[in-house]
A and B are shown apart, each in its own frame.
Chain A
Amino acid sequence: MTERLSALLHDEADHLDVPPPAPGTVLGRGRALRRRRRVTTVAVAVASLAVVGVGSTLALGGDRDDDRAVEPAAPAAGFGEVFAIGTDIYLDGGRTHAVVDDVAVKSLYYTSAGVVVRHGNNSWSDGGGPQRFSLVAGDGTVTRLSVVTDGAVHATDPAQPYLAYAVRDGGGPAEVVVHDVTTDEVAARVRVPGLSGGWFPVAITGDTVFVGDGREDVFAVDWRTGEVTTSPVLRGYPEVAGASTSAHRDDRPVVLDVATGEVVLSPETTGWADLRLSPDGRYALLDQERDGGGGSSFQVYSVDTGESVEIEGETWQYGWTADGDLFSLLGRELTTCQADTGECATEEVDLVRSPAPGIDEGSNIVCDANGTCQDPEAEKGDSVDLKLGGRTYES
């Protein structure tokens, strides 16, 4: 009796246009999952019972498969912990290695096509001459992009293959540029007449590029249609991730829905504090000024539920993976903490190095808490910068 229904279902399935698999991405995600499950978990952060507003208590230690499956709406993030030591780029916690052909790396950006590296003559965030870009794919393949900027601020959406920035060429109005990093072609260029000056912080999420000029108004640019409106929510420097933006209300840090301005997260804080969003906007790290003394730790909140976990360490030691986990590299230890449970796992990493002044190929490299890495056997002073993925190294 079910033959007809069954036949229709099979017919539908047989006619589906099946996309090609991405074994590299699957392997990367698989390795990241396996690493999380290792018994070498060295620290389980204490869950904070603090719940923002009127919320529920936090349940920890649930079924990992259920708790941490990638959100359907989240980007397919197969790059794991991403960091740069000098011009060596590491994906998946160092398992994938690539080298960018330049003097120094300035910043790392997540896209759905891979990691976009901003590099140039020095590691300064800007003001250090031309900024060049390369795309590092999940398998470590490096593609130099044609984009070269100077003094611009850049942004990506980890769910999309675009690099966004704004420039003013000549005396005309400023333009938002959306560059497709897979084709290395400009996907859109939209004039924004309301911008003044020459420095334009941007953020991109979905079809919208938010751009300001450091003053009051921030413009929302639909880069597909070219429509430009004034954002009713954002002011000054747009810091947007996913559907969220971090801001301050009554001197307290909050996370707002970027479309409606609704406060979606408002943790209790003392003194100066700031919320730093994960690249996908699902989590927010509370960076809070502390009174002297005491151990170092910080809270990470789920923007969706308001629940929080406590992570040991200093906020500036941590970067984000594209899918919202925190990680740090200290010495030769890579620590990865899950933002939803606070579970942390540490492993020693052997990082392949490319030869550099003062650093021999294959030599040990250790990184300190200040973001500087050095070969312990090299002469003093021969050090290179550590840059973590998911961190903002912009002016």
Chain B
Amino acid sequence: MPRPPKDEEFTDFVHASWPSLYRTAYLLLGDHAAAEDLVQTALAKTYAAWSKVRSVEAAPAFARTTLVNTANSWFRRRSWGRERPTDPIPERGAPAPDPSDRPAVVAALATLPPRQRAVVVLRYYEDLSVAQVARILGCAEGTVKSQTSDALAKLRVELGEAVVPETLGASHD
């Protein structure tokens, strides 16, 4: 069994991987404090499971998978939605937001249920395939496709046709 990493090694790894993991976590959760907690949790699990990680080189990928799995377990909790209300949803009557406006993207993501949000982030930010997302989220590929389709339909309303064209389906890999 590989020895646990030295504190200095692991500290370096935390510093190196933190920004990237935090960005993914924030897009997944939409909350700075929760994102920070999620990254800490994922990195702590990576440390605890070092025998599976095997090397510092393999740690970033392990931590990223752990992060998504942990977020997924949080989503499954019945209290997640209650504890983490999404940001205010823009009024329907309001003018369509400028899609180049970054906060519009965050606000649009916030309108999605947690699993749909995760699907969008994993597919269009992490650039994972339908099969990879299904494996991570523990659901069927068909579910990923239908969740993607539903999510894109909502994002189309929020961000406009220019960002999410009608022809953009969910079936591609």
Seen from chain A, the residues whose Cβ lies within 8 Å of a Cβ on chain B are 1-2, 4-6, 8-16, 18-23, 25-27, 29-34, 36-37, 63, 65-66, 69-74, 76, 78, 304
Contact between B48 and A33 (Cβ–Cβ < 8 Å)?
Answer: yes
- Binding site of B, secondary structure by majority: helix, strand, loop or mixed? helix
Shortest Cβ distance from A183 into chain B, in angstroms? Answer: 20
Contact between A69 and B73 (Cβ–Cβ < 8 Å)?
Answer: yes
**A391-B29 Cα distance, complex, nearest whole Å:** 34
CB-CB under 8 A from B83, the residues of chain A are: 71-73
Whether B86 sits at the interface, judged by CB under 8 Å, is no
Contact of A65 among B22, B45, B80 (CB under 8 A): B45
**A11-B99 Cα distance, complex, nearest whole Å:** 12
- Binding site of A, secondary structure by majority: helix, strand, loop or mixed? helix
**A23-B121 Cα distance, complex, nearest whole Å:** 26
Contact between B22 and A66 (Cβ–Cβ < 8 Å)?
Answer: no
Within 8 A of A (CB), among B4-58: 4, 7, 10-11, 14-15, 18-19, 22-24, 26-27, 29, 31-32, 34, 36-41, 43-48, 50
Q: How many A-B residue pairs have CB under 8 A?
A: 134
Shortest Cβ distance from B53 into chain A, in angstroms? Answer: 11
**A5-B5 Cα distance, complex, nearest whole Å:** 38
Whether B165 sits at the interface, judged by CB under 8 Å, is yes
- Chain A: CB-nearest residue to B31: A72
**A281-B16 Cα distance, complex, nearest whole Å:** 35
- Chain A: CB-nearest residue to B19: A18
Shortest Cβ distance from B123 into chain A, in angstroms? Answer: 8
Contact between A9 and B27 (Cβ–Cβ < 8 Å)?
Answer: yes
Contact between B102 and A12 (Cβ–Cβ < 8 Å)?
Answer: yes
Contact between B14 and A2 (Cβ–Cβ < 8 Å)?
Answer: no
**A9-B48 Cα distance, complex, nearest whole Å:** 31
Task: Say which size band chain B's interface belongs to.
Answer: 35 or more
Contact between B18 and A9 (Cβ–Cβ < 8 Å)?
Answer: no
| Given A21-B14, A72-B74, residue A9 in contact with residue B124 (CB < 8 A) | yes
| Given A8-B99, A12-B102, residue A34 in contact with residue B4 (CB < 8 A) | yes
Contact of A304 among B11, B48, B50, B79 (CB under 8 A): B79
Contact between A30 and B45 (Cβ–Cβ < 8 Å)?
Answer: yes
Contact of A11 among B40, B79, B102, B120 (CB under 8 A): B102
**A318-B11 Cα distance, complex, nearest whole Å:** 32
CB-CB under 8 A from B22, the residues of chain A are: 16, 18-19
Contact between B23 and A13 (Cβ–Cβ < 8 Å)?
Answer: yes
Whether B135 sits at the interface, judged by CB under 8 Å, is no
Within 8 A of A (CB), among B116-173: 120-121, 123-125, 127, 155, 159, 162-165, 167-168
